[in-house]
Structure 1
Amino acid sequence: MDDILVIQIPPSLDGERVDRAITTLIDVTRSEASELVNSGQVSVDGQIVLKPSFRLKHDQVLEFPDHSQKDEIPIEPDSSVVFDVVYEDSDLLVIDKPPGLVVHPGSGNLSGTLVSGLISRYPEIEHVGEVSRPGIVHRLDKGTSGLMIVARSGLAYEKLSLAIAKRSVERRYLALVEGKVSGELGRIEGPIGRSLKDPTKMAVVMMGKEAATNYEVKNRLSDPFVASYLDVKLETGRTHQIRVHFSSIGNPVVGDLRYGQSLAKFSIALERPFLHAYSLALNHPISSDPLEFRSNIPTDLQEVLDLFS
């Protein structure tokens, strides 16, 4: 089932046709957006809109299904996709994803994804879970490295998905953020949804989904710039959650050009956000045995830390 998007119309879309606005907000064609409207699946301020030419106004609330999630995208096995497997049994895998690898097909990334590599090595995964993201029960952003759980059986998929929804899977990250965060221990709460200023980005917004991020300071750094090295624990798993939450409090993740700034002025060459999923803890979905995994910090991130005096 498609997610229902609820978006408050930003000034940039004031006066825009509803079908054109939808194509701006999600990855669908103009004809697909028009079909959504014609079929009665789009509403504005709670009223169904049936004309693609309907003009939107600033601050109106637009609701429609996210048909950009194209489950029909076929997955082609690809043995060239590189990733490490740190644990496997007949029900699940734990993999260590390298940075730069997209997890599943989407707009602009139809091949060479993690799932292509997974079904090449483990063909049975092709029929587990959603068609376009087989075996995937949670994701890491393209630029984020580290540990991910993958289901190998249908029952494991159901139980792992439920465990993540119940927040009984512990996921921890190493993050370097700009500036000095408040306190040695902290918690960021704020609902996350599409940005009202730029709908292609995520932001803390009133109508977003509940999100909470906890952190502990590992080290405070000052040269070549003030930064905080953190151990971050997710309570929820919203899109870009860590990046959005720390940006919202004025401490964007180092290297995050989307929610932060370039590091060129500090002569630091980091081509991705400083985020590494270093720890996973869960109960096995079938046996209930406790499992815990760790991943060492990658070389590119350690080299950034080594630049600080």
Structure 2
Amino acid sequence: METMEHIILEEQKGDRIDKVLSGLDEEWSRTQVQQWIKDGHILVNGQMVKTNYKCSVNDQIEITIPEPEELDVIPEELNLEIYYEDKDVLVVNKPRGMVVHPAPGHMTGTLVNGLMAHCKDLSGINGVLRPGIVHRIDKDTTGLLMVAKNDMAHESLVNQLVEKTVTRKYKAIVHGVIPHDFGTIDAPLGRDTKDRQSMTVVDNGKHAVTHFQVLERFKDFTFVECQLETGRTHQIRVHMKYIGYPLAGDPKYGPKKTLDIDGQALHAGVLGFIHPRSGEYLEFEAPLPDDIERLLEQLRKSN
């Protein structure tokens, strides 16, 4: 079990304990934190409290994170599009609408369910709910993901992400016409205090850098390629909105009137990394999905 401590700050005074703690880590849901409080995994000044406890400045919170639950992930034949596979790593092209890993509420139909059916040897570093998963892309983002099949590979791939040596290029259709051909967005990201399920640019957020290049301009839209230097939650979606060019079809960060597409027009098209065992650099490219290709054809016709 992992233990961590948090001291309540002035701006957290009066907030409920479950709200404060669920904001500390994007992986912790409020429901999960409430369960930890009930189970005695969270102490305030050495004492157990109720989930509606209101925090005071300098309260000392001790959080004991329990081991991942041994939930059975059901293997499912999902006809995954595997781009590469050996005994250490696997690269898969994720379709639109597929969630990467199971969570309470949706335990089936995820990429992990499909991976469990496809191969039995996935790394266990992240606990049973996320075997092999090194990085994620959003449910309605399509494209390439790397998966670790053992702990050695998992550690290597995570280190490459931390060291920013993984190549990750995305293609997107955004609202508005970007006048310049290249740009870099360097703006820290964190949870939106008004909506915990959204990210936004905040002064004390995590370092986040996105580079972009214009590929094609249309009357009211631009087709761009974005390269991630860091990989924060919703990074491209929030960064492009921040500079005034939100993604087409984005239900969370984009305008209501948009192109006819079910979710954001964002595709993880290029993925490159150093193979954990051979040391060789591997790079893969997946073509645009049909729905984004169709939108581009429509935009070209209406130009």
Q: Percent identity?
A: 34
1:303 to 2:294 alignment: yes
- Tell me how far apart the structure 2 counterparts of residues 69 and 142 of structure 1 sit (CA, whole Å): 26
Query: Which residue is equivalent to 2:235?
Result: 241
Unaligned runs of 5+ in 1: none
Does the 8 Å CA contact 2:133/2:148 hold for their aligned counterparts?
yes
Q: TM-score, normalised by structure 1?
A: 0.82
Q: Tell me how far 1:37 sits from its aligned partner.
A: 7.8
Q: Distance in 1 between matches of 2:9 and 2:178?
A: 31
Shift of 1:244: 1.1
Structure 2 CA distance for partners of 1:132 and 1:2, relative to 1, 3 Å: farther
The letter for the 2-side match of 1:262 is K
Residue 17 of structure 1 aligns with which residue? Answer: 16
Q: Any conservation in 2 of the 1:9–1:56 contact (CA below 8 Å)?
A: no
Summarize the Cα distance change of 1:154–1:130 in structure 2 as closer, same or farther, 3 Å threshold.
same
Distance 1:269 1:7 in 2: 45
Work out whether residues 129 and 157 of structure 1, in 8 Å CA contact, stay in contact via their aligned partners in 2.
Answer: no
Stretch moving more, 285-294 or 60-69: 60-69
Partner Cα separation in structure 2 for residue 244 and residue 60 of structure 1: 33
Structure 2, unaligned stretches of length 5 or more?
none
Aligned equivalent of 1:143? 140
Q: Considering only aligned residues, what root-mean-square deviation do their CA atoms show, in Å?
A: 3.4
Choose 170-179 or 243-252, whichever is displaced more.
243-252
The equivalent of 2:254 in structure 1 is: 260
Residue 108 and residue 87 in structure 1: after superposition, are their counterparts in 2 closer, same or farther (change >3 A)? same
Q: Normalising by the residue count of structure 2, what TM-score does the alignment of the two structures yield?
A: 0.84
Deviations 1:1-31 (A, max 9, x none): 5898999899xx9855334665798242574
What one-letter code is carried by the residue in structure 2 that aligns with 1:32? Answer: Q
Q: Which residue of 2 aligns with 1:167?
A: 164
Is 2:275 the counterpart of 1:277?
Answer: no
Residues in 2 aligned to 1:49 and 1:200: alpha-carbon distance in whole angstroms? 30
CA 19–231 in structure 1, closer or farther in 2 if over 3 Å, else same: closer
Question: In structure 2, how many angstroms separate the alpha carbons of the residues matched to 1:6 and 1:303?
Answer: 52
In 1, Cα distance between the equivalents of 2:194 and 2:59? 14
**Which SS does the other structure have where 1:199 is aligned?**
strand
Q: Which AA in structure 2 matches 1:287?
A: S
Matches within 5 A, 1:1-309: 16-19=15-18, 26-28=29-31, 31-32=34-35, 34-35=37-38, 39-40=42-43, 51-52=49-50, 53-55=52-54, 72-79=70-77, 81-125=78-122, 127=124, 129-181=126-178, 183-222=180-219, 226-263=220-257, 268-308=259-299, 309=303
